[in-house]
């Protein structure tokens, strides 16, 4: 049984075996935005996917945009994605391959509304978190 399990594990592609997950908080940014950020040490080349993990009742909507940079250097913007504060994960960044020593992904949530009225994004997304999955 153990030999069969080991054979199955070695038969899987290496990419399926090496996924690292990093999670971080979100906080109010300025008067009406929310910013989520991580500092992730790396060694090697990774494919990354950045997500906004939301928790709430789904009443607040907004726009999320991810930024990816080597820490301390100007970043690259991802696409803008509509999001709600329902209990789900929103992929807000393109998936890209990166190879840097320290990566700093960020997600900004802005243009928030509740029942068609503008509200500070902290009202609906203060409990959100950022999640980054790295696959080698």
Look at residues 60, 123, 58 and name the one whose alpha carbon lies nearest to residue 88: 58
| All domains in the chain, ordered by first residue | 18-135 (2.60.120)
Q: What is the pTM of this model?
A: 0.79
How do residues 39-59 score in pLDDT, each as one tens digit? 888 777 777 788 899 988 889
Tell me the CB-side half-sphere exposure of residue 121, using CA atoms within 13 A.
27
Largest CA distance in the chain: 61
86, 58 contact by CB (below 8 A): yes
| Other Cβ atoms closer than 10 A to 59 | 14
> Could you give the angle at the alpha carbon of 134 between the alpha carbons of 11 and 57, nearest 5°?
115
How do residues 63-86 score in pLDDT, each as one tens digit? 999 888 888 888 888 888 999 999
Dist. CA 61–CA 98, nearest whole Å? 30
How do residues 101-117 score in pLDDT, each as one tens digit? 788 889 999 999 998 89
Residue 40, Cα to own-chain centre: how many angstroms? 12
């Amino acid at each position: 049984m153990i030999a069969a399990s080991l054979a199955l594990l070695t038969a899987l592609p290496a990419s399926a075996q090496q996924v690292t997950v990093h999670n971080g908080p979100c906080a109010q940014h300025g008067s009406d935005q929310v910013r989520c950020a991580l500092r992730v040490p790396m060694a090697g080349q990774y494919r990354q996917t950045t997500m906004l993990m939301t928790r709430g009742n789904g009443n607040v909507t907004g726009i999320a945009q991810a930024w990816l940079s080597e820490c301390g250097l100007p970043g690259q913007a991802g696409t803008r994605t509509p999001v709600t504060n329902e209990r789900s994960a929103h992929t807000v960044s393109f998936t890209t391959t990166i190879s840097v020593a320290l990566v700093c992904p960020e997600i900004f949530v802005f243009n928030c509304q509740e029942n068609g009225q503008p509200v500070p994004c902290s009202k609906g997304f203060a409990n959100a978190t950022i999640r980054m999955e790295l696959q080698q």
